[in-house]
Amino acid sequence: MKKQLKLTVNGQSYELYVKPKALLVEVLRNELGLTGTKRGCNSGSCGSCTVILNGMAVKSCSILALQANGAEILTVEGLAEGEQLHPLQRAFLDYGAFQCGFCTPGMLMSAKALLDENPSPSEEEIREAIQGNVCRCTGYNSIVRAIMAVAKGQYKEER
């Protein structure tokens, strides 16, 4: 039997009915069409499904959608403002911080959660924050450099 689920995703409120077994990542992708959030390992290991829930980075493949009832969620689609990319997105482009791009939405959300909590992290803190996000193109150094550039204020003037 379907249950009512109320969510705010990227500032927009939704009210929908979902099966209790639906995972948050499934609702985001299949019900709301927000396919930026990737479904990778499906077991909480790879981090490609990372979204920000009530200010915290979480893995949306390991949470039932109903457990997020009433929550405010930010997905990668909510980072840009219109045509204006988020500083982290600009930095990822400038630093070539991806190859295939599958891990990128999760990496961006982990990086965003880190900078919201700690605006000037050390390199070690950046590496710790993306520990739960696997990149199989082995692009970690560029990703760390991109996040570092934003932390150092290189993209400050653009917003």
For position 44 contacting another protein by CB under 8 A, the verdict is yes
For position 42 contacting another protein by CB under 8 A, the verdict is yes
CB of 37: closest distance to another protein in angstroms?
Answer: 13
| 9/53 with CB nearer another protein | 53
Angle (CA) 137-146-54 rounded to 5° is 95
Question: Which one of the spans 17-25, 83-91, 136-144, 151-159 is the region binding another protein (CB under 8 A)?
Answer: 17-25
The DSSP annotation for 83-136 comes to: TB--HHHHHHHHTT--SS-SSHHHHHHHHHHHHHH-SS--HHHHHHHTTT---T
C-beta separation of 97 from 139 below 8 A: yes
For position 30 contacting another protein by CB under 8 A, the verdict is no
For position 136 contacting another protein by CB under 8 A, the verdict is no
**Binding residue (CB under 8 A) for another protein from 4, 56, 152, 158:** 56
- In terms of Cβ atoms closer than 10 Å to its own Cβ (0-12, 13-18, 19+), residue 94 is middle
The footprint of another protein (CB under 8 A) covers 1, 3, 19-21, 23, 42-44, 47, 50, 53, 56-59, 62-64, 66-67, 69, 110, 113-114, 128-129, 131-133
